[in-house]
Chains A and B, each alone.
Chain A
């Protein structure tokens, strides 16, 4: 069966993304006996969470046993590695770089998420990375981003990144959490406990220890040519700087992340309905079976709501089974309910607060690809009459460059909504998220 599927490039189910959600979906679907293709741009399965190098024995990874179990279950799956999906046609035809299109009767979209970034003075300096980028460098290449690294932003992921760095022998100059994880009691240990439940393992906090500071933000990065230090400050509950608490911390790398932005281009290409999630992200709407609003298109993992790897696996198992035409057992559904409740509580514990916007000065770059500064964004609203982020993009070019708004889209939408004196709405993010070409593809390859 798999062989003939491969020859014909035709499968019962195509799973896009080989992270926790996609692996689980592929495994669950394959278990039922249908033909499955698993398409991913990376060389090895695992995604961001289980990113590893060849020969990696899993020592520094969490839930590695789960990974190896899932990997064993996809033996009958055609893993089409190092092919980036750039477009999916209805019906479904999956176009990925470097190979013939793959046809499938059903799809499971599990493309994951990338770090959500917020601009601040100096954030475009070399040496400033995303938290996920620093982690990927370590997991995927065994490379430390610097000798003295500051980790900053908000959310439990910061602890995971910092613990991984310490584990690998890096110098961590501080871990600055803007929020107060109040939803999990005042004590940060509760956060670690929460992480344990999320499947990322407890003990991060023990490792990170006194370096962890809450209600503290990096408000500026400094350096000539490259990063040499950051200014951190205490912030209040609304992320306004408490005057007089600013201090400088020397570092040669900054890993910063304010949660995640799900990759919505594929669901949007297929016409899936979306909603604004509790963490402010645009996500695709999934029903109880993990099916989107488009018949035959299933969703798993961050694409339908950021919730961590354990939830992603559960959603993947449910999506994979339903995509194969078999329903998921009630045990899986119960597990998903509990994990979702937990993810929701985390979103509440680590909300974004408006105060970050006050740090974005007129001169601060909002879109780094096109070097669009804050003043150009606000001028599009004030002088040119833009009433939504898409119009701002068309007038002032934030999000028009190489990254197509993946980096700056969320922040641009926030700046615009704030300038218009209103809160962020779903349409703001949708207006920036549609990308008919999900990955750059050469014109030569396109022309065929």
Chain B
């Protein structure tokens, strides 16, 4: 059973990043085919939290992408309807549980303000105004009005719906098994296109191998806890200042630093751990226990709240913690959009926008050099 098709762009992967890329390309007038081996949003996009954050970013290329993305998300919410994406600009609160951490946080927010983030230092009293149920031990903090959230699966599915409405094709249950001249081989035949975008998330490394242009994307495991539904007790996304250090860390061991937030459904989400243990799908009780303990430290009332479920996912990370974006000079026609680690939901909007600019011959709004696919093969400077 072979099938032959021609489009302008093939997008491999129907996660948040693939959906955003497909949507921006389709909106720019390109004929798009999305190929997904599993179901819509069935990869890491269905195992994450949906935070769109600037608060956890240090000045640098990732922050630039985050700022572009946050603007694009706001525009998309206007275009497609905030409700239909469950997009909410709810703001983020970072708390310091000790004076030392507080001092570090103040220095960090100063550097963020210089880079264009709206980062406001807040006193312990102001903290409690924003989050009345916070632990009395919270010393000081920062407030980030730009932080937002979406329902990632819903947003992905809606964007893919829009892609279909724009004349594009979305094929689920179709695995890319190899690359051919101007196209790919799949479990359901050959598909042709001028360009192939590798948006295969945590599996993008494998896809890049198929293409003969490897990029080192690896899994970083994370757990999330979900509580029983509660009345609105937590208003923002709240995390401890230690989180920022963990996100950027290259430590292979377990790191947990808690992010707590309420959802529209009333459940409270508690994330997330970070571990490099390959694609190990097993539940790790010690990790889950630690997350629970840290959440209680920030919000003591959570001790009496029931845990309803937990889930886990694998963040797609690169050794330098930057995504891989743009054309791959090693294989003409191949474009990467992967390796977004723990920020792929947030960064997807800017990513899709930039990739569509590249594929329609425009000058991208951001310099893609720091994200270039072949950077890992270059001799160290």
Contact = CB atoms under 8 A, between A and B. Distances in A.
Contacts of B311: 436
Interface in B147-161: 153-154, 157-158, 160-161
A443 interface: yes
Contact of B158 (A90, A384, A442): A384
B326 to A, nearest CB: 28
Given A95-B285, A391-B39, A397-B265, A385 B161 contact: yes
**Interface SS of chain B: helix, strand, loop or mixed?**
mixed
Interface in A370-414: 370, 380, 383-388, 390-391, 394-395, 397, 400-402, 404
A442 B303 contact: yes
Contacts of A400: 265, 267
A385 B160 contact: yes
A448 B304 CA distance: 12
B40 interface: yes
B289 interface: yes
A444 B283 contact: no
A370 B164 CA distance: 29
Given A87-B285, A447-B296, A387 B309 contact: no
Given A87-B283, A269-B283, A394-B41, A443 B295 contact: yes
A81 interface: no
B157 A437 contact: no
Given A89-B285, A386-B157, A395-B154, A443 B309 contact: no
A446 B292 contact: yes
Given A384-B161, A404-B308, A442-B305, A448 B289 contact: yes
Contacts, number: 104
Contact of B157 (A385, A404, A440): A385
Interface string B285-322: 10011001101100000111111111100000000000
B159 to A, nearest CB: 10
A6 interface: no
B71 to A, nearest CB: 26
B305 A443 contact: yes
Nearest to A95: B285
A388 B42 CA distance: 10
Interface of B: 39-42, 46, 153-154, 157-158, 160-161, 164, 170, 172-173, 225, 227-229, 265, 267, 270, 282-283, 285, 288-289, 292-293, 295-296, 302-311
Contacts of B309: 404, 435-437
B180 to A, nearest CB: 26
B308 A402 contact: yes
A435 B158 CA distance: 27
5 contacts: A269-B283, A391-B153, A394-B41, A441-B306, A444-B303
Contacts of A383: 161
Contacts of B170: 385
A387 B172 contact: yes
Q: Indicate the size class of the contact surface on chain A.
A: 20 to 34
A440 B39 contact: no
A391 B305 CA distance: 27
Contacts of A437: 307-310
Nearest to B227: A443
A443 B40 contact: no
A446 B229 contact: no
A385 B293 contact: no
B41 A446 contact: no
A437 B288 CA distance: 11
- Interface-centre pick from B172, B225, B302, B309 (highest chain A CB count, 10 A): B309
Contacts of A443: 225, 227, 270, 292, 295-296, 302-307
Given A394-B153, A443-B306, A444-B303, 20 more contacts: A87-B283, A385-B170, A386-B39, A386-B40, A391-B41, A391-B42, A391-B153, A395-B154, A401-B265, A404-B309, A436-B310, A437-B307, A442-B305, A443-B225, A443-B295, A443-B304, A444-B304, A446-B292, A447-B293, A448-B293
Given A391-B41, A447-B293, A440 B285 contact: no
Nearest to B164: A385
A359 to B, nearest CB: 28
Nearest to A369: B229
